[in-house]
Amino acid sequence: MKFFVDTADVEAIRELHDLGMVDGVTTNPSLIRKSGRDIHEVTREICDMVEGPVSAEVVALKAEDMIAEGRKLAEIADNIAVKVPLTWDGLKACKVLSGEGKMVNVTLCFSANQALLAAKAGATFISPFIGRLDDLNIDGLDLIADIREIYDNYGFETQVLAASIRSANHMSECAKIGADVATAPPGVIKAMANHVLTDKGLDAFVADAKAAGIKIV
Ligand code: E4P
């Protein structure tokens, strides 16, 4: 499973990138707002650092306007994936932009039917939102499994990009289901390293090393 980082925080991306943990980046208007940066400037900086796809989201609502914005965003770098919402207009924009050879990430997906339409419209990535479904007491992981099954049934090449990930548990569950990609905030990716037994075991080793006077360098 590829790891995308869901943030527009350049320093947070750099820390994970230096560890080889970053296969791509996803942003959205809320994350750009949080960064306090200009969308073109921050997206270019991310694209200069990361080799993999960097999703940059359109803000228009009409297909023709989304297409114009998508073309503009795609000028930033070759690794831009234009992000469009899963609306009828978004699907039209997806069809046109993917027809031009651009990567397209169709976002705000909350049903298997929406994912089917995105694949038909030539999406490179479909972004089902797990956490926002969980918030409504609907199991978001079931949606990832349903889309995986449907895409495999028909050999769709659209990649399942699990999004709105809120916990390290979501990451391992997505990997078990077979999501192609999971995009998560930096804190969730770092939390994957945590285990209470690791902490407990390390405390004991540190105490014994001290008691034994172990010195290595
Ligand atoms: C995906 O591309 C979105 O940017 C993101 O995963 C949304 O997550 P949220 O529901 O935590 O805002």
Instruction: Please compute the mean of the pLDDT values over residues 124-140 and round it to a whole number.
Output: 98
Q: Are 58 and 82 in contact (CB under 8 A)?
A: yes
Q: Whose CA is nearest to atom 6 of ligand 1?
A: 164
* All structural domains of the chain with their residue ranges: 2-186
pLDDT of residue 200: 98
As a whole number of angstroms, the distance between CA 203 and CA 210 comes to 11
Q: Domain 2-186: which CATH class?
A: alpha beta
Beta strands of 40-146 (E only): which ranges?
A: 54-57, 80-85, 103-109, 125-128
Ligand 1 centroid–CA 164 distance in Å is 4
Measured distance CA(112)–CA(96) in Å, rounded: 22
Point out the residues that are catalytic.
83
Calpha distance 106→192 (Å, rounded): 27
Split at pLDDT 50, 70, 90, the class of 130 is very high
Residue 7 beta carbon below 6 angstroms from any ligand 1 atom: no
**Cβ proximity of 17 and 24 under 8 Å:** no
Can you count the helices (H) and strands (E) in the chain?
A: 11, 8
* Band of pLDDT at residue 169, cut at 50, 70 and 90: very high
Q: What is the pTM for the complete model shown?
A: 0.96
Task: Express each pLDDT in 65-102 by its tens digit.
Answer: 999 999 999 999 999 999 999 999 999 999 999 999 99
pLDDT for residue 32: 98
Q: What is the pLDDT of residue 111?
A: 98
DSSP letter for 163, please. B
- Quick one: pLDDT at residue 126? 99
How many Cβ atoms sit within 10 Å of the Cβ of residue 94? 31
Structure confidence by residue, pLDDT tens digits, 170-209: 999 999 999 999 999 999 999 999 999 999 999 999 999 9
Arithmetic mean of pLDDT, 49-61: 98
28 lines ligand 1 (CB under 6 A): yes
107 pocket-lining for ligand 1 (C-beta < 6 Å): yes
C-beta of 98 in contact with ligand 1 (< 6 A): no
CA–centroid distance for 60 within its chain: 21
Mean pLDDT of 112-133: 98
